[in-house]
Copies of this chain bind each other. A is one copy, B any other.
Amino acid sequence: METRECIKTRRSIRRFTDEPVSDDLLYEVLEAVRWAPSWANTQCWEIIVVKDSSTKDKIASILSPNNPAAKGVKEAPVVLIVCGRTGLAGFKDGVAKTDKGDWYMFDVGIACQNLCLAAHDLGLGTVHVGSLDHKALDELLGLPEDVKSVEVIPLGYPAKEGKAPPRKAIEDFVYFEKYGNKIKA
């Protein structure tokens, strides 16, 4: 699929069929993460691939109550947990380079978007699920102290079309030369 079409037609998919995702497709999706850009090429992302039903059920129970993605996490053939190794992005020789501290959330965001776009390109659905108890998830997955879960992404064939929530117009978030200036320079 053409890139800008893929960007515009990707939807959050929260219900999946029971059709399995082949390893070939799974690796195509993971390959897209490999090519994400990152702070000084530190590539801080780590991904756990979960297919075990009881682990998926446990993950679903760790999501924030009434999270609309819980059913999708249980029924998707593959659930990806995207994590970030801390202390890499945003640092040089162990010292933070900016007042924002660790940039792992930013670099993992980039990686997750590559993942979701590649999945959509392959006919697979995903949704970003970040509202959950991260401490419980880190423990469930056996993450070491310096690796933190960021989000859960169920991956599978869509059982239901996703809807596009309304977007701001470009004019609502773009300014020219200085903040607040809506007139083109």
Contact = CB atoms under 8 A, between A and B. Distances in A.
A176 to B, nearest CB: 5
B10 A35 contact: yes
Contacts of A30: 170, 174
A159 interface: no
Contact of A114 (B35, B113, B134): B113
A160 interface: no
Contact of A117 (B3, B23, B135, B173): B3
A36 B4 contact: no
A107 B2 CA distance: 23
Given A48-B178, A112-B110, A130-B106, A168 B3 contact: no
Given A43-B167, A43-B168, A114-B7, A37 B128 contact: yes
- By size class, the interface of chain A is 35 or more
28 contacts: A1-B2, A4-B32, A4-B118, A4-B121, A4-B122, A7-B35, A7-B118, A27-B170, A30-B170, A34-B167, A41-B165, A43-B168, A46-B179, A47-B175, A48-B174, A48-B175, A48-B177, A48-B178, A49-B174, A52-B177, A83-B179, A97-B131, A98-B131, A98-B134, A103-B105, A106-B108, A142-B178, A144-B179
Q: Which 7 A/B pairs are nearest by Cβ-Cβ distance?
A: A109-B109, A3-B121, A106-B109, A3-B6, A105-B105, A41-B165, A113-B113
